Amino acid sequence: MYRPRIIPVLLLKDDGLIKTIKFNKKKARYIGDPINAVKIFNDLEADELVFLDVLATKKNDVINLDLVKKIGDEAYMPFAVGGGINNLSQVDKILKFGAEKVVINTAGINNLGLIKEISLKYGSQSIIGSVDVKKNLFGKYVVFIESGKKKIKKSLLEVIKSIEISGAGEIMIQSIDNDGLMTGYDYPLIDFVSSHSNLPVIAAGGCGSLMDMKLANQKGGANALAAGSFFVYHGPRNAVLINYPTKEEIYKNFT
């Protein structure tokens, strides 16, 4: 049976895991140790993992490469990493340490040549072009970079088309407005990106249930479903508990 990939997205700050709401890092909640989370997701047989360092770009730094190596040594599943990546040398090390893909956001939008470089050397399947989006006062989608801090003049359509043309293998579309709320994805946003790109689309931002994932897949056209809070919280009071649906739960949801 075909089903979309289900991907936990784990945010890193100072090598610890955090969870944000609407990208607000000042009020981020500490979740735990990333290596411990990898071990749990190994046992739960997650499809893939994505690790994003939320401060790397701001600090003009790159995701901790020693941590990437530790994740690579521990993870049974494919994983991708992002955060401050802005040159091919960094990508060389990240992939050498076991990551299957790199997630390019700010640098990819500012410098499409970087995506081309990575694609030519490692193939398009090694690159996820990440796009963070927020609605303005008029309900128009606006693209932000630098972990949601800086809006750009290019339209959403221009950004997704340029990422595709430059050689990325996938697009991850993240709703800043929905981040951490667990009230559902921005389905019109996902549908827009899916309808205007030939690349596989990873939906992110707002997932609170398997039904949300089903809607993002069947109504929005997403090829993969990513989430953060959904995989680290449990129960009405959002107790921290790393979790992942069973194969039976996934099968029932998508059939």
Catalytic residue, chosen from 15, 61, 132, 177, is: 132
CA distances from 68 to 4, 94, 183 (A): 26, 7, 31
Count of all residues that appear for the chain in the document: 255
What are the structure tokens assigned to 145, written together?
A: 């970079």
- Whose tokens are 């941590």? That residue is 67
**Could you say which DSSP state residue 80 is in?**
E
Written as one string, the DSSP assignment of 12-29 is: EETTEEEE-STT-GGGPE
Helices (H) and strands (E) in the chain, counts: 10, 14
Decide: 226 and 9 in contact? Cβ < 8 Å: yes
CA distance 169 to 166: 10
Active site (annotated) includes residue 66: no
Q: Burial-class residue 206 by CB neighbours within 10 Å (0-12, 13-18, 19+).
A: buried
- Which positions are annotated as active-site residues? 132
